[in-house]
Amino acid sequence: MYNLSGKTILVTGGTGSFGKKFIRKVLQSDVKKVIVFSRDELKQYEMAQEFTDSRMRFFIGDVRDRERLYRAFDGVDVVIHAAALKHVGACEYNPFEAVKTNIHGAQNIIEAAIDRGVERVIALSTDKAASPVNLYGATKLASDKLFVAANSYAGDKNTRFAVVRYGNVVGSRGSVVPFFKRIKETGVVPITDERMTRFWITLDKGVQFVLDNLERMHGGEIFVPKIPSMKVTDLAEAIAPECKMEIVGIRPGEKLHEAMITEDDARKTLEYDTYYVIQPEFPWWREDYSNGGKPLEDNFKYTSDTNTEWLTVDELRALVEEV
């Protein structure tokens, strides 16, 4: 794991599900300071009651506000960018708000990190950024492109940027798990399409993957973990076996199946035992992952319906019970 000893870490969107889990893990190390940067003072107040470590700091601000980021990044060594507007329906209904947070906010992070001398930045992405069909995915694709290109934009500065892309997180705020748990009291669970599949990852594994890639990154990579898929009908069966499933139709901006590596991205992707690396197309890039990395076959794609690893109903039930 990247040596965090004596480092100051800032997490944008730090009051969210990922932020809390990540910070709890980081505080187990000899980190100097952890800064939560977010715009909701109530969530920060509540988090401060839970996280009483003297190394914690809370900074109210919005990634849309570049000047505030410049102040927040002063003396920061590592930035984990987890802030985003990510609810698909809300982004479809408020499109330019998503653009301002997910795209303009990404560029503000980049500018502030370079000018303040931040060493490493990892931005969290989503499977919806691969071949996007909704605005949320499109804004995150643009964000990914910005963070990859930022390594050239930084010039001779030492700041390096990378992206971590993974699928649905078990039990995160706004996910289908708490929704199914709540709705099952009615005796009916709505299913958009019985064929639907999704990638699935736990918060613990998502956090560890980010920490692992803080050490691996050279700058410009998109890291993709190998994670299992699940059928939405199996998830409903795991959470509410006694309920009737009602097919309600796919909502605006939804896919039947998600992708994390497209056929076009696969041409520049290396495979490792537990993850993939989508390499940047920089003139100066020299692949330095020769210890075990191998190119992918022609026409390869990493999608939730063609995945080789699947969660059973019992495995899903065990995961859900831990949430």
pLDDT per residue as tens digits for the range 35-68: 999 999 999 999 999 999 999 999 999 999 999 9
Q: At what angle do helices 232-239 and 176-183 cross, to 10 degrees?
A: 50
Assigned token pair, 316: 């899903």
Q: What's the pLDDT score for residue 288?
A: 59
Q: How far apart are CA 136 and CA 144, in angstroms?
A: 12
Question: What Å distances lie between residue 177 and 38, 190, 204, 230, CA to CA?
Answer: 25, 12, 16, 13
**CA separation for the pair 142, 13 (Å, rounded):** 19
The domain limits of the chain are: 8-169+200-227+259-303
Share of the chain above pLDDT 90, in %: 86
Cα torsion angle, 45, 85, 212, 120, sign = negative
Q: What is the mean pLDDT of residues 14-18?
A: 95
Residue 276 has pLDDT above 90, yes or no: yes
pLDDT for 251 equals 86
Dihedral angle sign, alpha carbons of residues 286, 148, 281, 270? positive
Helical spans, DSSP H, in the chain: 17-26, 41-50, 66-72, 88-93, 95-98, 105-116, 135-153, 176-183, 203-216, 232-239, 263-266, 313-322
Find the mean pLDDT for residues 137-165: 97
| Selected catalytic residue, list 21, 128, 140, 255 | 128
Rounded CA-CA distance 188/28 in Å is 43
Cα gap 293→275, rounded to integer Å: 10
Identify whether 32 is a catalytic site residue: no
Residue 25 pLDDT greater than 70, yes or no:
yes
Q: At what angle do helices 203-216 and 17-26 cross, to 10 degrees?
A: 60
Query: Mean pLDDT, the chain, as a whole number?
Result: 94
Interstrand relation of 120-124 and 78-81 (parallel, antiparallel or unpaired): parallel
State residue 321 phi and psi, 5-degree precision: -70, -20
C-beta separation of 61 from 11 below 8 A? no
Q: Give the single-character DSSP code of 148.
A: H
**Which residues face 246 on adjacent strands?**
190
C-alpha distances in angstroms, 125 versus 15, 25, 41, 165? 17, 20, 25, 4
User: Is residue 266's pLDDT more than 80?
Assistant: yes
Kindly state the average pLDDT of the residues 68-74. Answer: 98
Helix axes 232-239 and 313-322, enclosed angle (nearest 10) = 60
The region of weakest confidence among 9-13, 163-167, 293-297 is 293-297
* Mean pLDDT of the region 290-304: 89
- What is the structure's pLDDT at 287? 64
- Of the candidates 83, 159, 174, which has an alpha carbon nearest to the alpha carbon of residue 125? 83
Q: What is the pLDDT of residues 173-202, one digit of tens each?
A: 767 888 898 988 899 999 999 999 999 999
For the stretch 228-259, pLDDT in tens is: 999 999 999 999 999 999 999 998 889 999 99
Given a cut of 90, whether residue 132 has pLDDT beyond it is yes
25, 188, 197, 300 from 245: Cα distances, Å: 38, 6, 16, 34
C-alpha pair distances (Å), 201 with each of 8, 108, 144, 228: 27, 29, 20, 7
What whole-number distance in Å separates Cα of residue 24 and Cα of residue 16?
12
pLDDT at 214: 97
Q: What is the pLDDT of residue 145?
A: 98
Cβ–Cβ under 8 Å, residues 161 and 123: yes
Q: Does pTM top 0.85 for this prediction?
A: yes
**Single-letter amino acid, residue 186:** T
DSSP-derived letter for residue 251 is P
The pLDDT confidence band at residue 317, using thresholds 50, 70 and 90, is: very high
CATH classification number, 8-169+200-227+259-303, choose in 3.40.50.2300, 3.40.50.2000, 3.40.50.720, 3.30.450.40: 3.40.50.720
Decide: 169 and 184 in contact? Cβ < 8 Å.
Answer: no
pLDDT beyond 90 at 283: no
Is 78 a residue whose pLDDT tops 80? yes
At residue 290 the predicted structure's pLDDT band, cuts being 50, 70 and 90, is: low
pLDDT at 291 > cutoff 90: no
